[in-house]
């Protein structure tokens, strides 16, 4: 494993691929309850600032040539801005979410409605709790993908086999052990077909060993930068959108041939999310 400080191999040219993303404008964003360690209802939320930061993220994707579709925000669902949690999409198949906490459960139906209206024919409502791309990350080269499947705080372990059956890909179960990293996408970022960045301390020993074996060239994030959700990043294979508060991780990415694009999403961090939480990839 390689730290964020150095890497023995020279940077290689990275290739971006055009992506399709689903996002939800934070019109109703608030922190009115606590379902993860980041959320403190006593801390004021500046919704206007959250909207500005979110719009910077959306415009960044558009400027990179990606498609951004919009999920209509619904009153009473302040966490809908974290659109990645609502589904996992691969080869045009939509595996819906089933949220653990009652405060978010209605979001699953909103996602199903959007995908139905968008013409997706195969939509599966899961039996077991899974929180979409929060805990189900697609990694690997096209046609040889694997689903990195987190559990420990939100997603039911039984949902891993269900995801593999629905999406038609092997599943690599990974156990999270630090409540700050309650979803897999807060502790690991898929950068391209071969490369991830991660925080080993967020995982159980067995899962650490599995990841180290599968991704021996992984970037290991500084714990201080992971602690501001530096790993909650979005990559198109070349450009990596990540928090501006993670400069050492950005430097490591640049050293490896990626182009880091730091963005301030500090207002949305109050709800426990960053760029990846706000971004659901719609594949095929």
- φ/ψ (deg, to 5) at 241: -90, 125
Tell me which of 111, 183, 239, 278 is the catalytic residue: 183
Question: Cβ contacts of residue 48 below 8 Å, gap of 6+?
Answer: none
Residue pair 252/230 in contact (Cβ under 8 Å)? The answer is no
Catalytic site includes residue 278: no
- φ/ψ (deg, to 5) at 187: -120, -5
Residue 194: how many CB atoms within 10 A of its CB?
A: 14
* 147: nearest Cα among 16, 24, 281: 281
3-state secondary structure of 99: coil
User: CA 59, 57, 141: angle at the middle one, nearest 5?
Assistant: 100
Catalytic site includes residue 239: no
* 187: nearest Cα among 68, 274, 284, 92: 274
Question: Cβ contacts of residue 75 below 8 Å, gap of 6+?
Answer: 28
Q: Is 257 left (phi over 0), alpha (psi -120 to 50) or beta?
A: left
Burial class of residue 118, CB neighbours in 10 A (0-12, 13-18, 19+) = exposed
> How many CA atoms does the CB half-sphere of 209 hold within 13 Å?
3
Strand positions, DSSP E, 180-281: 188-190, 196-198, 219-220, 234-235, 239-243, 259-263, 280-281
Catalytic residues: 183, 277
């Amino acid at each position: 494993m390689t730290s964020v400080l150095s890497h023995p191999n020279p940077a290689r040219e990275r290739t971006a691929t055009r992506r399709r993303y689903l996002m939800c404008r934070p019109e109703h964003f608030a922190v009115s309850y606590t379902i993860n360690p980041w959320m403190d209802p006593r801390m004021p939320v500046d919704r206007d600032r959250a909207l500005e930061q979110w719009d910077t993220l959306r415009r960044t994707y558009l400027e990179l040539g990606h498609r951004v579709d919009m999920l209509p925000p619904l009153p009473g669902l302040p966490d809908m801005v974290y659109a990645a949690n609502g589904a996992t999409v691969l080869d045009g198949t939509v595996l819906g979410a089933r949220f653990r906490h009652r405060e978010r459960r209605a979001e699953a139906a909103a996602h199903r409605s959007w995908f139905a209206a968008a013409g997706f024919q195969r939509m599966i409502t899961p039996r077991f709790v899974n929180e979409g791309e929060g805990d189900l990350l697609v990694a690997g080269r096209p046609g040889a993908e694997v689903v990195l499947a987190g559990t420990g705080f939100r997603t039911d372990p039984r949902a891993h086999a269900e995801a593999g059956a629905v999406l038609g890909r092997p599943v690599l179960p990974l156990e999270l052990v630090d409540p700050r990293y309650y979803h897999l996408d807060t502790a690991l970022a898929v950068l391209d077909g071969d490369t991830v960045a991660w925080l080993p301390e967020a995982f159980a020993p067995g899962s650490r060993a599995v990841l180290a074996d599968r991704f021996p060239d992984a970037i290991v994030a500084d714990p201080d930068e992971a602690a501001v959700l530096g790993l909650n990043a979005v990559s198109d294979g070349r450009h990596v959108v990540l928090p501006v508060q993670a400069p050492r991780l950005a430097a490591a990415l640049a050293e490896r041939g990626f182009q880091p694009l730091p963005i301030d999403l500090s207002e949305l961090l109050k709800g426990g999310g960053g760029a990846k939480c706000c971004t659901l990839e719609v594949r095929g």
